[in-house]
Amino acid sequence: KFQSFVPSATPATWLGVMGGGQLGRMFVHAAQMMGFKVAVLEPARDCPAGHAADHLICAKYDDEAALAELALKCAAVTTEFENVPAQSLAFLAERTFVAPGAACVSVAQDRLEEKRFFTGCAPTSGVLPAPYKAILGNDDIDAIPDALFPGILKTVRMGYDGKGQVRVKSKDDVRNAFAGMGGVACVLEKMLPLAYEVSVLTARGADGESVVYPIAENVHRDGILFTTTVPGPNVCAETAAKAQAAALSIIAQLGYVGVLCIEFFVLQDGSLVVNEMAPRPHNSGHYTIDACVTSQFAQQARAMARLPLGDVRQHSPAVMLNILGDVWFEGDSDTPREPAWDKILALPGANLHLYGKDDPRRGRKMGHITFVDPTLELAQQNLRAACGILG
């Protein structure tokens, strides 16, 4: 296989990324800081990563001529877009080094495959997914055990930020929701009594060396990540160690190369349940840019270039606040106005990251702020002040 004989890339060559969103943009910045040049493949010319990249290939994700151009130019290619066609990654992998690989990404693209994989890992990872049942047709709905209610019906593919999910209390609810989603493959998950949510960012090199970042505690609002706090105020040492060990076990069993983020639920009885994984840097890992020796994006560049993985040590407590387009709009107004960035930047420890998107829309991720302060309490105090300023 091509992958086995390519030498590691020095930071004097090109790296490629599939996808032009904010994750791609932050990857471009990190790779460029190390001396790499970066090419982005993305269908939209006006995109956050494209503005920062050294070269933008404006093409569909499955355009073979464009993929061949990207592979020819780049010593390694990664993806920032979870739903990139796995076939495109396989096509690239015949021509250059690709991390993560098509097989890993395709497991993460399919909630059913992902849950089956997690269940298979359980004897060594020590964690199971929530009880679930595949809902592929009406027969499956008839056969739902009562123990799965109340539950959440999720589309197997393409869901993100709580989209493609419906809460259900009965088989009739499932019938309606399943029809409402156009009868696409779904999975019904038991609704679990969550105490809080965490994620574990981990990275693995082509040589099997792996690292795990400090555990992050996440708060969601309307299905979208709202804040990430590290160290998490609710996380005890035992839970952190268990989740980190589980993440390392899962990344090794997947044979994954690159940065992987795994989301877990911590239940009210203290037990740990594995939720889902993202085959790329993750929103909950943005704090690593300002608070860790090696950011998740620099780590991705190192892993794909087959260079030594970087130190994951956190040097300051950190709180990350996502900035959605909502903060551009006062009350019910449709006219956007610029938030008071001067007031935000006056807060101690504030690191403002805006993604260069010019049309703010409600629910759209526009940027984030990470507070790195001498104590977690100060970071949390500044976060509250920022929420007050942004309204």
Q: Which residues of this chain interact with Mg ion, rule CB under 5 A? A: 263
| Distance in Å, CB of 54 to Mg ion, minimum | 32
Q: Pick from 220, 313, 315, 384: which binds ligand ADP (CB under 6 A)?
A: 220
**Cα 116 to the chain's mean position, in Å?**
20
Parallel/antiparallel/unpaired status of strands 14-18 and 37-42? parallel
197 binds ligand ADP (CB under 6 A): yes
Q: Pick from 69, 161, 173, 326: which binds ligand ADP (CB under 6 A)?
A: 161
Contacts of 172 (CB under 8 A, 6+ apart): none
Q: Which two tokens stand for residue 167?
A: 């809460």
| Distance in Å, CB of 247 to ligand ADP, minimum | 16
**Between 234 and 375, CB nearer to ligand ADP:** 234
**Between 187 and 254, CB nearer to ligand ADP:** 187
Binding part of the chain for ligand ADP, among 159-167, 235-243, 252-260, 370-378 by CB under 6 A, reads: 159-167
Q: Which two tokens stand for residue 53?
A: 């990249």
Q: Which two tokens stand for residue 359?
A: 């049309």
Distance CA 204, CA 132 (A): 29
Distance CA 186, CA 86 (A): 20
Q: Pick from 42, 80, 114, 189: which binds ligand ADP (CB under 6 A)?
A: 189
Instruction: Pick out residues in 105-134 that bind ligand ADP (CB under 6 A).
Output: 130
Count of positions on this chain that bind ligand ADP (CB under 6 A)? 17
| Distance in Å, CB of 153 to ligand ADP, minimum | 10
192 binds ligand ADP (CB under 6 A): yes
Helix pair angle (22-33, 296-304), 10° resolution: 70
159 binds ligand ADP (CB under 6 A): yes
One DSSP character per residue, 231-267 reads S-TT--HHHHHHHHHHHHHHHHHHT--EEEEEEEEEE
Q: Which two tokens stand for residue 169?
A: 């209390």
Q: Which of 347, 349, 345 is nearest to 375 (CA)?
A: 349
**Residues found near ligand ADP in the complex (CB under 6 A):** 130, 152, 159-162, 189-192, 194, 197, 220, 223, 263, 275-276
